[in-house]
Structure 1
């Protein structure tokens, strides 16, 4: 069993590292086997959601390697959660005020394809706690663990996962507008998109040779491998393809709950954004949307989505 946190009290840095060392010493703890074996319907759903038309997986009776985490995910109303070496440490960090969380690393290693009919079992091993460290989000700890998925005792895939657990910074009220804490990464591949947003345009990257549209933007056309690119301006309309309602953990600069959606554009690409100006209970797949542009600080503007009349 893991070391239980029986009372939610503040711990010293030394005590947090001592708890982390105990979790490391536990080694790998196996969880419950997946509720369902690797199966065709789930693979079809995954391929459709990812836009992957490769027939090789189902033809060969194997699952896409990136699906490893899917088979053991809990449902909407999950049963009692398996204890793991990670739980008590995260609870202790929360009790110490490190309530913010952001994923920083996710590295997956694939040993072989998972085959139809196999039942995968996860094994979790806590590996490291680094900190406290001062970051742009606040002072926090980097916690690292590894999950390995087994078919019987044979490893199929593994994932190293690292998160930053930080104390959210309480900023003093200023007359000038504070910078939005979650700034997008802007580079030579994406600058045209953010320039368009500031100009009130929803721009989609296009291959200058074959005309293939793609989003998110990238350096090379996946269709013809050309590095020549341009863009078109989308109509600004879309349809809600799928969505989640984010309740927890807290997100810097945002008030929960809020809707994170995948919007399908008539131009043929999908885009991630927030649905606003709509009660959460009225959000639904298939609802017609239109883009709106919201200033987040004095320089950043984000495209968001609001209901439109069908």
Structure 2
């Protein structure tokens, strides 16, 4: 018998501190055009899509991988979908660590190694966040923003970093992705252009090979001087987000964001340690940046509600 319609089981990974439970009042959910539920086989979690055409199952998995990081951002803890290609099983037993399509008439019995979870969220909140993510034009629309998609993917993996410093640096890398350096004013550009002309001229006449290479390297690097620094663009990004969220002093928010970015340099270049408070502030700030970029920032400073 040729299987044409399947259920799709997508295993989710969270950190050892987080998980989900089935909310008894959760109604039947529709996501991306299909009925979906959460199946829990403690301590593992699976999104179960029902009655999916087999030829569309892999595409469905890809779309879930795009919007799941948004749910991680909204719920404020790491959630990852299983990697790898979609597998197709002809029986109820399959390797539960991989996304798998199986015949609709079977009750699934995935096999996985156990682990422990300490705190849990209602599955209703996850579905609310996924439904919201599925409607975000900037994330999953016809012309999604690649930097937003990448930034959300990185945020969803932050909690899986082993140390506070690693989490802090990962969060700051998201700011670097989202900060778009603007061109410098024309007087600044004129100075840079004059300097580049001199660098090239000096390099072409230099007798010392090391000096010649150094001048050519400076000339090449000077291209980047034409745009503002990442530090300046992080400040501008923070102020724009603060204005959008109605903060009374966007300038102060910009200064706080710059201090975060400066701390990144101290961690990387001088071996300093990011404090827990700095990591927490970076996390909240990054969430606000991504929410504003996605155009969906209601409740971003509160507990995300269920629909």
TM over 0.5: no
Q: How does the TM-score come out when normalised to structure 1?
A: 0.23
Which of 1 and 2 has greater Rg? 2
Q: How does the TM-score come out when normalised to structure 2?
A: 0.23
* Higher relative helix content: 2
* Higher relative strand content: 1
